Amino acid sequence: MYEQVSHSLLNDILIGLDPKVDSNDLKHFYIRLGANFYAIHSLFHQLYGDRRDFRLQMHKLVEVMAKQYTNRSSELRQSDLAREKDHDWFLSQKLAGYALYCQEYADSIHGMHSKLDYLQELGINLVHIMPLLDGPKGRNDGGYAVRDFRKIDSKYGTLKDLDNLSADMRSRDMLLVLDVVVNHTSDEHEWATKARKGQKKYQDYYYTYTDRKIPDLFEQTMPEVFPETAPGNFTWNAEMEKWVMTVFNDFQWDLNYKNPAVFIEMIDIILFWANHGADVIRLDAVAFLWKKVGSTCQNEREAHLILQLMKDCCQVTAPGALFIAEAIVAPVEIIKYFGEDAVNAKECEIAYNATFMALLWEAVATKKTILLEKGVRSLPTKLDRATWLNYIRCHDDIGLGFDDNDIREAGYDPQLHRRFLVDYYTGQYPASTATGVAFGRNEKTGDARISGSLASLAGLENALLIHDEAATAISINTIILLHSMIASFGGIPLLYYGDSIGTLNDNTYLSDENKHHDSRWVHRPRLNWDNAEKRHVEGTVEYRIFHPIKKILAIRKQIPAFADLNNREMLTISNPHLFAFLRFTSSGIHSRVLVVANFDTAAQTLELKDLEAVNVFEHTQVRELYTDKVLSTRHGQLVIPPLGFYWLQL
């Protein structure tokens, strides 16, 4: 019955389609719409079916998809067809990513062209350029408060510049990742301005309330994202004489997806950027998309329905474009952003592996891998057509979102252990050499997170300051070890700009009135190109970091077992400093690779009898793929150097 309703509605919509749109070659659009319409209709109905204007809204949605399809270039349409055929293309081990701020990295979008060579030299072929859209001049949360979703901020360049860049990247086989900040707008966005001036239509784009009744109910269960700088989740707007929901900063107004107009605007914007060459769209703060009194307003079922609907709509118009879920939430929740009840990803194909990231930092601090192993084992298996972004550092803080049970099972008290980690990385712990900064300390809960560049957190800043070569080597080895982990775990390694040349903390944010309150700016520096040049000079820190990372990426690309096909088996090792897993493919060269990492600053022994169950060593020798050396296994042991790793070909 439902299907019949869906078919007849589709007929009506297609008959009523704008003739301008309909006159285009819509063959593939119609095929995809036919294939996805039942799902789109069902999801849209679940979200908005109780509205009297449901059919009208449905019609508008299809019109937006069709309009954007007609705007899609023939080149991108061809690429859609190719990617549809090779639908697992993004699971390949050949991808390697890099996230950067355009201005800090290359001054402008135009400046990016000449800096792509550097990325290619390193082996990068996927580039996330952080938010480029028009935003307020002062505080704008690093571009995550958007004033105009279709306009490039003039400080970076123009839309034409971006089109040129995406064309250049396509010709170099590099993928472009752009943000769409779906959860909120800047308070200077046209919708917010109109809402402030009293237009009911736009007040309904947000969560606005005349008194504290509902805001107070919400506050009972909603946590605070930025407790130090933006406590509470609502802001009073005197001009509108209303409270508005502002989960992040007070200048970021949360969009109300209970209003279908918001959904339709957003899908239009997503498709707009897909048409401007974004291969991958990073959907910001997706866990927050649906708000419900009595809940944390995170990870709500409807937030998933919205993402499924976005995906299905994108499938119709721009099926080659992928989504990244930026959902930094508990491990069991993160996995759901791939889509829950489907074999293939039905929400976002890619998600940040925040769990693995935080676990790696835990292992560096403790020099032990007990929690790392437990945490990875507790990660539920993900869907087949889905992959992780594995990263060590990004533009945000490090949250210690491990599972409390895992922490207990690893033998620690959750609260004390988290406190230890914050102390460790902020240099408060006696034996620590890290020079990070606390972020988001919450006096009520005692929680805190960590800011700092990879190099500074790994002790390099401190080592260079005291001219200690042994400490410098430890820090460099830590940086390399961590990169070996994100390159071999399964998923796309995402490097953060500056990390491959050991960029240290940048404290200049402290004298900027728009930044000093937000310690995340300590790890968002201008890339120092003079330092980058030193990668060519043997013996420099830059050289010692850049080349091993480059080699890690190059070798990763040659190992098909490193493609992300749910082909990892965790191994339990008796030595608590070692972390080991097996990667495999069904056939071909390097079809089984044993990854072993030593998180201790002393050499550690791997007892081969630990691995008997997986029958890994048939011979008395084994080839290590990173160094291309043959190691002897004759004595039933392998010694892993301090902070070293092996990629052993079985």
Q: How far is the CB of 326 from ligand GLC (least distance, A)?
A: 6
Query: Using CB atoms, what's the residue nearest to ligand GLC?
Result: 144
Q: How far is the CB of 520 from ligand GLC (least distance, A)?
A: 7
- Cβ proximity to ligand GLC: between 142 and 576 the closer is 142
Q: How far is the CB of 144 from ligand GLC (least distance, A)?
A: 3
Q: Which of 284, 396, 518, 542 is an active site residue?
A: 284
Q: Does 284 bind ligand GLC (CB under 6 A)?
A: yes
Of 139-147, 424-432, 597-605, 624-632, the segment contacting ligand GLC by CB under 6 A is 139-147
Amino acid 543 reads Y
In contact, 215 and 205? CB cutoff 8 Å: no
Subset of residues 21 to 50 that bind ligand GLC, contact rule: CB under 6 A: none
Of 141-149, 150-158, 210-218, 264-272, the segment contacting ligand GLC by CB under 6 A is 141-149
User: Using CB under 6 A, which of 37, 105, 144, 205 touches ligand GLC?
Assistant: 144
**Helix, strand, coil shares, percent, the chain, to 5:** 45, 15, 40
Non-local (6+) Cβ contacts of 615 within 8 A are: none
Find the angle CA(376)-CA(381)-CA(387) to the nearest 5 degrees.
90
End-to-end CA distance of the chain: 55
- Cβ proximity to ligand GLC: between 62 and 287 the closer is 287
Of 136-144, 235-243, 363-371, 581-589, the segment contacting ligand GLC by CB under 6 A is 136-144
In contact, 288 and 183? CB cutoff 8 Å: yes
Q: How far is the CB of 355 from ligand GLC (least distance, A)?
A: 16
Of 53-61, 140-148, 357-365, 555-563, the segment contacting ligand GLC by CB under 6 A is 140-148
Q: How far is the CB of 478 from ligand GLC (least distance, A)?
A: 24
- Cβ proximity to ligand GLC: between 144 and 412 the closer is 144
- Cβ proximity to ligand GLC: between 226 and 272 the closer is 226
302 is an active site residue: no
Structure token pair of residue 378: 């507790």
250 is an active site residue: no
Q: Which of 153, 326, 362, 406 is an active site residue?
A: 326
User: Using CB under 6 A, which of 178, 274, 285, 357 touches ligand GLC?
Assistant: 285
Neighbours of 242 (CB within 10 A): 20
Helices (H) and strands (E) in the chain, counts: 23, 25
Q: Does 253 bind ligand GLC (CB under 6 A)?
A: no
Non-local (6+) Cβ contacts of 453 within 8 A are: 393, 498, 499, 503, 504, 505, 506, 522, 523, 525
Non-local (6+) Cβ contacts of 198 within 8 A are: 240
Q: How far is the CB of 70 from ligand GLC (least distance, A)?
A: 32
Spatial separation of the C-alpha atoms in residues 75 and 498, rounded to whole Å:
33
Q: What are phi and psi of 313, to 5 degrees?
A: -70, -40
Q: How far is the CB of 415 from ligand GLC (least distance, A)?
A: 24
Cα 185 to Cα 132, 206, 262, 600: the distances in Å are: 14, 9, 11, 45
Subset of residues 210 to 249 that bind ligand GLC, contact rule: CB under 6 A: 248
Q: How far is the CB of 197 from ligand GLC (least distance, A)?
A: 25
Spatial separation of the C-alpha atoms in residues 179 and 149, rounded to whole Å:
10
CA atoms within 13 Å, Cβ hemisphere of 245: 30
Non-local (6+) Cβ contacts of 383 within 8 A are: 338, 339, 342, 343, 344, 345
Q: How far is the CB of 329 from ligand GLC (least distance, A)?
A: 11
In contact, 591 and 564? CB cutoff 8 Å: no
Spatial separation of the C-alpha atoms in residues 250 and 596, rounded to whole Å:
46
Spatial separation of the C-alpha atoms in residues 624 and 551, rounded to whole Å:
14
- Binding track, positions 175-204, relative to ligand GLC; x by CB under 6 A: ------x-----------------------
Of 137-145, 456-464, 537-545, 625-633, the segment contacting ligand GLC by CB under 6 A is 137-145
Subset of residues 307 to 326 that bind ligand GLC, contact rule: CB under 6 A: 326
- Binding track, positions 391-430, relative to ligand GLC; x by CB under 6 A: ----xx----------------------------------
Q: Does 142 bind ligand GLC (CB under 6 A)?
A: yes
Q: How far is CA 537 from the centre of its chain?
A: 33
Amino acid 253 reads W
Q: Are strands 184-186 and 252-254 parallel, antiparallel or unpaired?
A: antiparallel
- Cβ proximity to ligand GLC: between 385 and 395 the closer is 395
User: Using CB under 6 A, which of 134, 141, 250, 461 touches ligand GLC?
Assistant: 141
Instruction: Give residues in contact with ligand GLC (CB under 6 A).
Output: 141-142, 144, 181, 248, 284-285, 326, 395-396
Residues recognised as catalytic = 284, 326
